[in-house]
Structure 1
Amino acid sequence: MSQILQQVDPSTLASVAASAGVSVPTTSNGLPASLPAIGSASTAPPAGSSTDPSIARVTPQGPPQFDYRANLTSPVFGMNLFTGTFARGSSSRFNPDYIVGTGDRINVRLWGAYTANLSLTVDPGGNIFLPSVGAVNIRGVRNANLQSAVEGAVARSFRRNVYVYASLAEAEPVRVFVTGFVQRPGLYEGTSMASLLHYLDQAGGIDPTRGSFIQIQVKRGEQVRARVNLYEFMFRGVMPLVNLADGDVIFVGPRQNTVSVAGLAENAKIFEFPSDIKLSSADLALMARPLAAATNMRVTRNTGVVRNTEYYALSDAASVTLGNGDEVEFTADKKPGTITVRVEGEHDSVQEYVMPYGSRLGELLQRVQFSSRSVPENIQLFRTSVQRRQKEMLEVSLKALESAALNARSGTSEEARLRAQESEMILQWVDRARKVTPVGQVVLGNGPERDGLQLENGDRLRVPGKDGLVLISGDVLFPNAVTWESSTSVGGYIASAGGYSQKSSARRIVIAHQNGSFDSAEDNSRGVRPGDEILVLPKIDTKSRQLFKDLTQILYQIAVSARVVLAL
């Protein structure tokens, strides 16, 4: 190389060096004085690098850990297999059907006339070497037959008084390709004895939108060594045992036909079935497991340009065939037969009544035997559906109050500050109001219409007794129960409870009667009955008329539906 460079024109060398960014000293006539060394190793650090050992080097990291949480909530049946459990688990070394192969480690112990304790690795020829015995070929031997194979080899060298114990200590470590329709195709490590689920789990599991659970192949080159259907494992507990080797491929095929299941089923998931068969509803029921309450199935056909819906009784649906993309919902199509009604309080009859659907309140009251302490004209009816509707109406009112409190306008900064404090107080009160549970009481009259009221399943009647008390609660000093007196006014009852806790007339008084009806009252009002409850609603101090109106309405609504006075 140096001889070639010596024959090159010096000016040419100088121009080449300049184009390469190399500074070459020149003589007075502009020719290069010397040439840089070609091919010599440079010991100087590259520009921009640092030799300071305190500066940490960036080390390449492996792939990030897979987030398995989406697999747990996936609508695809079988995705909950892949949560990282199989990836972390180790294979069992005591599998009797495992075939011993190259790289496996074998523990051999000899005792008697000859003793040895050996840990041997199966060599590429499939042999292990035993002292005084020689090479013993065990490749291809089942784990269950390993002991007898080694015993036979030892017996050929030692006729008597030498005993042997052989066991598989560790399977060969291998690296297996996982590809096809999985979430993280790649090359994964394990052992030759590890389950297919160990490698599929490392790959994040089967792709829920594209991968197949029923068409998985284990390949070695062009040879398909095993075909795996994970539904066999999930429904029957059957998993083929495949001895894997370095470079083997686990290939997940594309997803085939699917049917989605919803409604009253234990496994309301998306199921896969082979593309070359028609799935019957009976086969689907074995996988989806409809609940005992299910009586019918609704089938929505999604193939073609027209979406059709069909409805079958489960008893007649065994012959219904399902196609790719169909949606099946298991439902309960039942007619009400009987209902149960509970009667509590002051009476001498049983407390639980089973009556035909459509029974009336009058029919039930004819079966109730009242006692001398009963007050049948004040019977109370509590209904679950009414309780639910009262809760919904209260929620609507509370949302309107929240909106009014947050959107109230202010003219000055001081007013804005006061509005903010007021809004915070109102929102805290709304949170407490949401925890109030209405009682679901139905107001019953005493006319013939009361007896014609249709009963519902789960209704609860309460027969009040003659207690002669009046309850006073709400914005009073000492909420209490006092003896009823016909001549006492509302103000007199409130005075017996210590009077009002706030010295203001901006309040509302409500009388709750036992039969569920309510009356507004003043201090001088009369007409309080035995068993009534006097509710004193607190005064409301707010600058906004809209907030005042909304709060007053909700306070009254809570008092009526739950018989609770919720203070601000």
Structure 2
Amino acid sequence: MNKTIKIYCHKLLIGLLASVQLWVFSATAAEPNQMSLTNLQSMGTTQTALPNASLENSTYSKAPRDGIMLPGEMTAAELLPVSEIGLPPPFGANLFAGGYESERIDGLNEDYTIAPGDKVSIWLWGAINQSEVITVDNQGNLFITNVGPVYVADVKASQLNNFVSQKIKQVYKNSVEIYVNLLTATPVSVYISGSVIRPGQYAGIASDSILYYLKRAGGIDSERGSYRSIKVLRQNQVVQEIDLYDFMLKGYLPKFNFKDNDVILVERQKATVVVSGSVRNPFRFEFTGNQANGQQLAKFALPLAKVSHVGIVGDRIDGPFSVYLPYNDFETFNLRDGDRVIFNDDIRAQVFDIQISGSYLGPSYFAVKKETRLHDLLAQIEVDKNLTDYESIYIQRKSVAQKQKEMIDQSLERLERSVFTAPASSDGEAKIRAEEGKMILEFTERARKIMPLGKVVISDQGKVANIQLEQGDIVFIPAKTDLIQVGGEVLMPQALVFNKNASVEDYIAWAGGYSERANYEQIMVIHPNGMIDLNAKGPLRAGDQILVLPKVDAKIMQSIKDVTQIIYQIAIAANVATN
């Protein structure tokens, strides 16, 4: 039985090697796309212009966080209200996401006008000493001792000192200094109606902003309310109109003092357009009229520079429609209520950025045309012949790493399903299954954290395949080394000096020998060019990595075949062994 399992695993492993590892090389030197070792060794000695590829040296700086959120940080989507009908939030909805209504300051702006009930302090010194706090009466007067009534209603707070001082100096003309200060302002009661969350009556002071009152009312209703048509009514007459887009885009908010019984009316939402795709502001935008053109919408949505086409989906009198326009044509297209606009980058990149890593001279990044092949790039790279291992060039490719990751994840999912859905015929077997499930969960949790390298083997026996380059490729040119790396299930993983007369077993013995979990029959040798040999018995070469894989105890694990398969996949994809 054990022999049958070994044969099965061996066949399975051969299949995995063919599917996970990408092998690209040819055995004959007569192929036109071959680059011989002799040609590779000429790299860096000459610099020739490429007839069919343009390469420009360039330096790139990566984003500091690559889109990773810091602890405690919230995304914009988490701060905005969620639409009940599946639409993105309206532009400006985050105006009411903060808690500033509880942080108001009872201060006065300089344009506040004095009203009945306000308290004013007055000091006189010099020929006469007098101080008092006076309340503005219902007729708008301050009654000052020995001076009489002074009418101050509708006087601005910034002008109050000069205005009252002049009235007092009509009585005390010489040798008297005067100081006047507004202490408090009379609270006002403002009604909020229309499309807000909590319409009703709210108290504040006259100088509070309209944003303060709207926030007290829960903000504008995202589905019904207008951000562009807000009116302040006084005795049923419109005294102020406000467009919050002016505030969000330009920082403009009109100065306005409220009075008792003023009404803030948030009108019904006007025509809207939903924007998505390659834009800085993917929101629902509102028009002031029934329609607007694409150029007007672009001022709000701020499409990215790479946008080339725009898709529009909507309804008209003659029925539903869908169009896909170049961006220039979209600027004059008339949009209407309910349209959906998708900004798209539909022009494929004509230039790739390729990174060089390992042993090389000169820049580490090159910008190349999309039709550039590997040989064209290698001809531009300078290397030190005495330090570079020309025979072992390989590529790390994101698309290959992603595919390897997908295959490992699929294998882990199948393993979990097979363990947790397996029936148990007795209590003893159920206990064994539960213990096995616990170990499987620990194993899959660790295995999912492994990130494949995405190695593409392109060199063998002194020849390098002239493959097509892809965006984000990393061309790795290994340095010559005199070391052998020994890792995995050995007692002392370490680097050892290469000895041409030593075998795999010798290096493992020098690394302390096998660990208790070592699989003596599954030893992987990873060559500098990315090729992998299983159970290699032949001679090693400097730069090889010896990886001893762990074994799975068949007495404990019923799913030994699946676990062993995943261990092989991870070892091949990421050059690591997972216990």
TM above 0.5, yes or no, is yes
CA contact (8 A) 1:300 1:309 kept: yes
Deviation at 1:77, TM superposition (A): 1.1
1:448-467 matches, within 5 Å, as 450-467=464-481
Instruction: Give SS of 1:157's match.
Output: coil
Q: 1:309 to 1:494 in 2, by over 3 A?
A: same
TM-score scaled by length of structure 2: 0.79
Of 372, 389, 408, the residue aligned with 1:375 is 389
1:399-421 residue CA offsets vs partner (Å, 9 max, x unmatched): 22222232233222233223222
1:307-386 matches, within 5 Å, as 307-347=320-360, 351-370=364-383, 371-386=385-400
Q: Is 1:472 the counterpart of 2:486 in the alignment?
A: yes
Corresponding residue for residue 281 of structure 2: 267
CA contact (8 A) 2:227 2:286 kept: yes
Deviation at 1:482, TM superposition (A): 3.1
Q: Is 1:199 the counterpart of 2:221 in the alignment?
A: no
CA contact (8 A) 1:257 1:324 kept: yes
Of 560, 564, 571, the residue aligned with 1:548 is 560
CA contact (8 A) 1:93 1:169 kept: no
Determine the C-alpha separation between the residues in 2 that align with 1:292 and 1:415: 63
TM-score scaled by length of structure 1: 0.80
Determine the C-alpha separation between the residues in 2 that align with 1:556 and 1:406: 22
1:164-220 residue CA offsets vs partner (Å, 9 max, x unmatched): 222322221122221211111122121122111111101110000111111212223
Determine the C-alpha separation between the residues in 2 that align with 1:134 and 1:270: 59
Q: 1:408 to 1:102 in 2, by over 3 A?
A: same
Of 229, 235, 249, the residue aligned with 1:235 is 249
Q: 1:103 to 1:563 in 2, by over 3 A?
A: same
Query: Residue 183 of structure 2 aligns to which amino acid in structure 1?
Result: A
CA contact (8 A) 1:507 1:539 kept: no
Of 423, 431, 435, the residue aligned with 1:417 is 431
Of 520, 534, 539, the residue aligned with 1:520 is 534
1:61-80 matches, within 5 Å, as 71=80, 75-80=89-94
Q: 1:144 to 1:506 in 2, by over 3 A?
A: same
Corresponding residue for residue 574 of structure 2: 562
Supply the RMSD in Å over aligned alpha carbons: 2.7
CA contact (8 A) 2:124 2:131 kept: yes
Of 443, 446, 454, the residue aligned with 2:457 is 443
Corresponding residue for residue 186 of structure 1: 200
Determine the C-alpha separation between the residues in 2 that align with 1:84 and 1:337: 44
Unaligned runs of 5+ residues in structure 1 are 1-67
1:58-137 matches, within 5 Å, as 71=80, 75-90=89-104, 93-137=107-151
1:261-289 residue CA offsets vs partner (Å, 9 max, x unmatched): 2222222211111234x212222122222
CA contact (8 A) 2:518 2:549 kept: no
1:92-143 residue CA offsets vs partner (Å, 9 max, x unmatched): 6442222221222222222222332222222111111110111111112222
Corresponding residue for residue 301 of structure 1: 314
Corresponding residue for residue 496 of structure 2: 482
Determine the C-alpha separation between the residues in 1 that align with 2:311 and 2:172: 75
Q: Is 1:536 the counterpart of 2:548 in the alignment?
A: yes
Identity across the alignment (%): 36
Deviation at 1:148, TM superposition (A): 2.9
Query: Residue 570 of structure 2 aligns to which amino acid in structure 1?
Result: I
Query: Residue 555 of structure 1 aligns to which amino acid in structure 2?
Result: I
Deviation at 1:427, TM superposition (A): 1.0
Q: Is 1:143 the counterpart of 2:194 in the alignment?
A: no
Q: 1:369 to 1:242 in 2, by over 3 A?
A: closer
1:248-263 matches, within 5 Å, as 248-263=262-277
Instruction: Give SS of 1:499's match.
Output: coil
Q: 1:498 to 1:244 in 2, by over 3 A?
A: same
Corresponding residue for residue 4 of structure 2: none
Which structure would you say has the larger RCO, counting Cα contacts within 8 Å and 6 or more residues apart? Answer: 2
CA contact (8 A) 1:347 1:369 kept: yes
Rg larger in 1 or in 2?
1
Determine the C-alpha separation between the residues in 1 that align with 2:132 and 2:200: 36
Aligned residues: 497
Q: 1:444 to 1:178 in 2, by over 3 A?
A: same
Deviation at 1:545, TM superposition (A): 7.2
Corresponding residue for residue 34 of structure 1: none
Q: 1:185 to 1:70 in 2, by over 3 A?
A: farther
Q: Which stretch shows the higher mean deviation, 346-355 or 285-294?
A: 346-355
CA contact (8 A) 1:171 1:193 kept: no
CA contact (8 A) 1:179 1:252 kept: yes
Q: Which stretch shows the higher mean deviation, 380-389 or 449-458?
A: 449-458
Query: Residue 158 of structure 2 aligns to which amino acid in structure 1?
Result: A
Unaligned runs of 5+ residues in structure 2 are 1-76, 83-87
Determine the C-alpha separation between the residues in 2 that align with 1:492 and 1:305: 82
Deviation at 1:86, TM superposition (A): 3.9
Query: Residue 307 of structure 2 aligns to which amino acid in structure 1?
Result: A
Query: Residue 352 of structure 2 aligns to which amino acid in structure 1?
Result: I
Q: 1:504 to 1:245 in 2, by over 3 A?
A: closer
